[in-house]
Copies of this chain bind each other. A is one copy, B any other.
C-alpha cells in the first residue's frame, strides 16, 4: 500500500450485499488523504510495479501457466472508462493487454445467449483482459430500456455469479469496478463534449436519452452490485467525479489482483548450461554458410 492510503481501496471501495447507492458520494476520495499531485506520483510508482507484474504474468502464460486477470469496467457515459484504459492500462506493455469493448449486440450475438460473446472475449492465459462494458449491460441498459421480456434479473444475477465462479476457477482473477459519477459531473462532461469540436466524436445524442433514465440506472446499478458482489468476484464501486482518484484506485486494485497470484519468473524448461555451450560453439560472429 502506497503513501496516501489510510486503507487499501480493495477494502474501502468494496461493495457488499448491503451496499446502498444513497450513501455513496461520487465526489469523495475514500480513505485517501493525499492531494491530486500525491495521487499522480503514487500512480506512476505503482505503474512500475504493475508493469513488472504484468510481464511476469505474460511470461507465465508463455510457459504454460493458466492465470489471467480480467478487469471489468462498468459506468454510465462519460464515467471515465476510456480514461482508465488509456491511463492505467497505458502503463503496461500493450502486448500484455487484451481489450474488448461491448456495445449493442450484433445480429449474430443476439442469436446466442447473452454470455456467449462474453465467453468468447475472455482473456487468454498470461493477459490482462479489460472489458469496457460487459455482461452487466444485460442487467443494466437492457433492464432500464426494457429490452427483454419479463423480469429475468434474479435469474441473470445467479447465472452471472455462476459464470464468474467458473471463470475464476479456470485461473482468472476478476476485478470488477463500477465507476459512478454525479449527475452534475455528467452534465459538465457532456457539455464539454458538445462545446469542444475535438470531443464531438465522443458524443452521441443517445447519451442524453440515457441520462433521462438516471434514476432507473441508479436502481439497476444498486441491485446488480448487491446481487453479484461475491467473495470470488466482488464489486468495487469507484467514486469517479475525480478522475485522478478513480485512476489511482483502479491501478491499486489491478496491482493487488496481480500480487495475489504470487508469480515468480518461470523456470527454464531447457538446460541452461547446454544451451550456453551450443551458443558458444557457434561463436559470436556470423555462423558459416551451410
Contact = CB atoms under 8 A, between A and B. Distances in A.
Copies of this chain held together in the complex: 2
B99 A82 contact: no
A198 interface: yes
Contacts of A283: 187
Contacts of A216: 289-290
Contacts of A104: none
A107 interface: no
A41 interface: no
A91 to B, nearest CB: 9
A150 interface: no
A37 interface: no
A275 B89 contact: no
Contacts of A152: none
Contacts of A276: 191, 194-195
A208 interface: yes
A214 interface: yes
A267 interface: yes
Interface in A259-290: 265-268, 270, 272, 275-276, 278-279, 282-290
A45 interface: no
A211 interface: yes
B290 A215 contact: yes
Contact of A200 (B82, B101, B265): B265
Given A85-B95, A86-B95, A95-B85, A265 B198 contact: yes
A112 interface: no
Nearest to A56: B198
Contacts of A113: none
A267 B272 CA distance: 59
A275 B208 contact: yes
Contacts of A289: 215-216
Nearest to A219: B289
Instruction: Please list the 4 inter-chain residue pairs (A to B) with the smallest Cβ-Cβ separation, ordered nearest first.
Output: A215-B289, A59-B201, A183-B286, A200-B268
Interface of A: 59, 62-63, 82, 85-86, 89-90, 93-95, 97, 99, 101, 132, 183-184, 187, 190-191, 194-195, 197-198, 200-205, 208, 211-216, 218, 265-268, 270, 272, 275-276, 278-279, 282-290
